[in-house]
């Protein structure tokens, strides 16, 4: 179980969730917010909206001063840039409509959603494998 939010609310969300022994993933955008979320006890920090700030390059810029903070890239992650987010420092990807399109939900097309999940999983595995080989 986990709880995520688009922004950082350390007092009412992070503290509550920590006391309930649930993984908490607050949203943050600036370096100050990333640091504050981590210091408040976040398990991961969701960088949102990531794509609006430069996408993978922004994750790389945040990852450099915060290499030990597990960053979740969220907002604008798609099959074209998912691998770049991973190689640039995101540990996890937050994927919305690119993974579960409204049409697939409305038509109850679980096969479509499974196929998209399979593709994203492949992209992430390949990106992580390229990290291990020293490729950038």
For residue 27, list its beta bridge partners: 46
pLDDT level of residue 79 (50, 70, 90 thresholds)? very high
Both tokens of residue 5? Answer: 């939010």
Select the more confidently predicted residue: 14 or 76. Answer: 76
Both tokens of residue 129? Answer: 């494998």
Tens-digit pLDDT profile for residues 11-28: 777 778 877 888 999 999
Tens-digit pLDDT profile for residues 44-58: 999 999 999 999 999
pLDDT level of residue 136 (50, 70, 90 thresholds)? very low
Tens-digit pLDDT profile for residues 31-41: 999 999 999 99
Q: Which domains does the chain have, with CATH numbers?
A: 2-132 (3.20.20.70)
pLDDT level of residue 99 (50, 70, 90 thresholds)? confident
Alpha-carbon distances, residue 94 vs 16, 34, 72, 74, 118 (angstroms): 22, 16, 6, 4, 15
Contact between residue 71 and residue 79 where contact means Cβ atoms under 8 Å apart: no
């Amino acid at each position: 179980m986990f709880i995520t939010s688009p922004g950082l609310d350390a007092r009412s969300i992070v503290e509550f969730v920590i006391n309930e022994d649930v993984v908490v993933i607050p949203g943050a955008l600036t370096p100050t917010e990333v640091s504050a979320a981590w210091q408040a006890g976040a398990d991961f920090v969701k960088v949102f909206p990531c794509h609006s700030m430069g996408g993978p390059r922004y994750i790389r810029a945040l990852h450099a001063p915060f290499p030990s903070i597990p960053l979740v890239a969220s907002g604008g992650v798609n099959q074209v840039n998912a691998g770049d987010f991973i190689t640039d420092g995101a540990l996890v990807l937050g994927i919305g409509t690119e993974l579960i399109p409204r049409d697939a939900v409305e038509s109850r097309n679980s096969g479509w959603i499974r196929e998209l999940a399979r593709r994203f999983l492949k992209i992430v595995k390949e990106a992580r494998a390229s990290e291990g080989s020293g490729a950038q």
